[in-house]
Amino acid sequence: MTAHLLTRRLRPAELATVDAVLALAVGGLLGPYAALESPLHGGVHEPLWVSVIVGMALGLPLGVRRRWPITVAVVISSVTTAALITGVIPNYAAAATGLAIGLSLYTVAVSTSTHRSMLCAAGCLALVSVALVLTASDLWSRTGAVVYAAVMIVPAWVIGWLVRERRALAARQGEHLVRQAATEERLRVARELHDVVAHTLSLIVVKAAVANHVAGTDPREAGAALRVIEETGRNALTDVRRVLGALREGTPYTPTPGLDELPALARQAAIGGVDVRLDVRREEPAAAVPESVGLAVFRIVQEAVTNVVKHAAPAACRATVTVTPCEVRIEVTDDGRRPILIGGEGHGLIGMRERVTLHGGEFHAGPRSGGGYAVTANLPYRVPA
């Protein structure tokens, strides 16, 4: 619990309390200091209540420095200038006011734009410098007084400006990470929806063509085709709900398909006129494949088989999935003839390549020398200890 209190950011009420305590502490220190320093060196012997008022006028504005930073900085600088000129705080004791001025200008630099904070710091520096120059005895003292005022004011402003820039950089990096995560999530959902829709619609189109062809001559076969369309459509709706439900919490569609669902995928491909011979091998000692890798394997095989249904059916297809202790190897080949596609890779091949790249693997797809088409991929994975 103590570590949590040390690392979390303070609430507005807690910040206000800290500022109030700081204001009282600074005012309480500067008041007695102003009262003691002048009589000690033969300066103005002002009444004690004047010194206390000056000290409070320098310290108390710090309590609202976060709400009105520029106003507080101007007030403290003006009070300092008046106190130095009147001798309530002598020239040589100007360092006593450095804490109040520094805190106010730090807040200005942190909470306001660079242009406004620079103007405010320059104005405060001018006020204090004028007071120190007017109370200095010679040119050397006046030059040293200006340098002294700059040493009091500039470092506080620079530190505040650096903190502001660092916070702005952290905010930009946070926004970039949020945008990147949203983009990756959109791409993931797009890949999932493409794979689900492309696979199921391909099967539905094939069976709808069959039903339309035999509707007048063989009503029983047409009815069987319609039943397949109905079942495939229901499965597609379930998959779409699962993909979209993964974006919400507390949905019943979070389980994702993996290696165990590959046999059902092969049976669905047979509906589209593609005979898929599935071979899943596990080399010992092969551990349980992570869920993300299992989903990628399923989608790659699904897309490869779907492409066979769309472009090469009727054809024979062989899908080999080999699970080793450190990677999953996929090889999907067919012996069908495909039309020449113009325009480069389609979304299916791009999606498969993206899935493999996300896991740091290798992907290849292209015609075979002996005819047909081949898709190969390997997906490395690590088993958590």
Higher pLDDT, 95 or 385: 95
Contacting residues for 379 by C-beta, under 8 A, at least 6 apart: 293, 296, 297, 327, 328, 330, 356, 359, 361
Q: What is the pLDDT of residues 289-309, one digit of tens each?
A: 888 888 888 888 888 888 887
How many residues are given for the chain? 385
- Average pLDDT over the chain, rounded to whole? 76
- d(C-alpha 157, C-alpha 102), whole Å: 7
- d(C-alpha 232, C-alpha 200), whole Å: 6
Q: What is the pLDDT of residues 130-186, one digit of tens each?
A: 777 776 666 556 677 677 778 778 888 888 899 888 888 888 887 887 777 667 767
The pLDDT of 270-277, averaged and rounded, is 78
Q: What is the pLDDT of residues 306-344, one digit of tens each?
A: 888 777 777 788 999 999 888 899 999 988 776 655 455
Q: What is the pLDDT of residues 344-361, one digit of tens each?
A: 566 678 888 888 888 888
The pLDDT of 379-385, averaged and rounded, is 73
Q: Which three-class secondary structure state does DSSP give residue 2?
A: helix
Q: What is the pLDDT of residues 214-261, one digit of tens each?
A: 777 877 777 777 877 777 777 777 777 776 666 665 555 455 778 888
Three-class SS of 80-147: HHHHHHHCCCCHHHHHHHHHHHHHHHHHHHHHCCHHHHHHHHHHHHHHHHHHHHHCCCCHHHHHHHHH
- d(C-alpha 302, C-alpha 308), whole Å: 10
pTM: 0.51
Q: Considering only the C-alpha atoms of the chain, give the largest distance between any 2 of them, rounded to a whole number of Å.
A: 122
**Which of the residue ranges 105-114, 162-171, 280-289 would you say has the lowest mean pLDDT?**
280-289
* Alpha carbon of residue 97 to chain centroid: 43
Yes or no: say if 223 and 287 are a contact pair by the CB < 8 Å rule.
no
